[in-house]
Amino acid sequence: MTHIEKPLSINDLTAMKQRGEKITCLTAYDASFSALIDKAGIDMMLVGDSLGMTIQGHGSTLPVTIADMVYHTRCVSHARQRAFVVADLPFMAYATTALATENAAKLMQQGGAQMVKLEGARFEIVSFLVGQGVPVCGHLGLLPQSINQLGAYSVQGKEPAAADKMMEEALGLQQAGVALLVLECVPAPLATAISGQLQIPVIGIGAGLGCDGQVLVLQDMLNIGIGKRPRFAKDFMQGADSVEAAIRAYHLAVKQSLFPTAEHSF
């Protein structure tokens, strides 16, 4: 008889933080990789709007629509057994509480997401969604949906005032009800301090070893991305004889706190 694993819940991820076990996460956009990532034991899959670049070939995440996100989230959630599934609300899909509610419902009801992620210190939107029973993941640091305001994909929170603001925003998001927080391209000491202050799990990408877990874009860690691999992303295909072995190597390196090293941090 085939053994079917129960999907992890947010309580399982929070318990991992409490007992000091690192949380592993990769982006996933389709059923084949979803099944493989799940089989390799990864705790969480993020259906990221990075699919605008990795799957659709755009130069940014901005062209991604809610219909794209629902389609890819459904592909991923159909094929997983155990990993917790989070899906991104794309650019402008949470500009108002009404839009956020309608689009979060699509990701959960049609896509099968267990949680939705949105970028920035959007306290009002977060507390409204949480009040409607929608689990929310925050995202601070580098916000790819704001690339045209930022001007470049660069490390955020380097200056003391910006670091203090990010700490305040992280605490504010927790207060508003987010159950998880992603920190992208943040100096390692700041990300460590934020992870230490928050009760909720903090998942880092280019944010150093002190976060409660790590996420990478799948194509970056398999070194099959279109553009230049970001400095914080290690090529796990090196020394691996299959894609599954590379994903298992990433999982083990994160669980054993061997990734990211200083070379992959800021």
Contacts with ligand KIV by CB under 6 A lie at: 27, 46, 48-50, 88, 182, 184, 205, 215, 217
CB-wise, 38 or 49, nearer to ligand KIV?
49
Any catalytic annotation for residue 21?
no
CB-wise, 16 or 45, nearer to ligand KIV?
45
Minimum CB–partner distance for residue 180 and ligand KIV (Å) = 11
Q: What is the DSSP string of 79-122?
A: H-SSSEEEEE--TTTTSSHHHHHHHHHHHHHTT--SEEE--S--
Handedness of CA 49, 51, 54, 56 (dihedral sign): negative
Minimum CB–partner distance for residue 105 and ligand KIV (Å) = 20
Measured at CB, which residue is nearest to ligand KIV? 48
Where do the H-state alpha helices sit in 184-242? 188-197, 218-221
Active-site residue, selected from the candidate residues 21, 119, 159, 184: 184
CB-wise, 210 or 213, nearer to ligand KIV?
213
CB-wise, 72 or 106, nearer to ligand KIV?
72
Closest CA to 30 of 84, 82, 75: 75
Minimum CB–partner distance for residue 182 and ligand KIV (Å) = 5
Closest CA to 31 of 86, 82, 89, 80: 80
SS3 sequence of 25-80? EEECCCHHHHHHHHHCCCCEEEECCCHHHHCCCCCCCCCCCHHHHHHHHHHHHHHC
Minimum CB–partner distance for residue 256 and ligand KIV (Å) = 22
The residues carrying an active-site annotation are 184
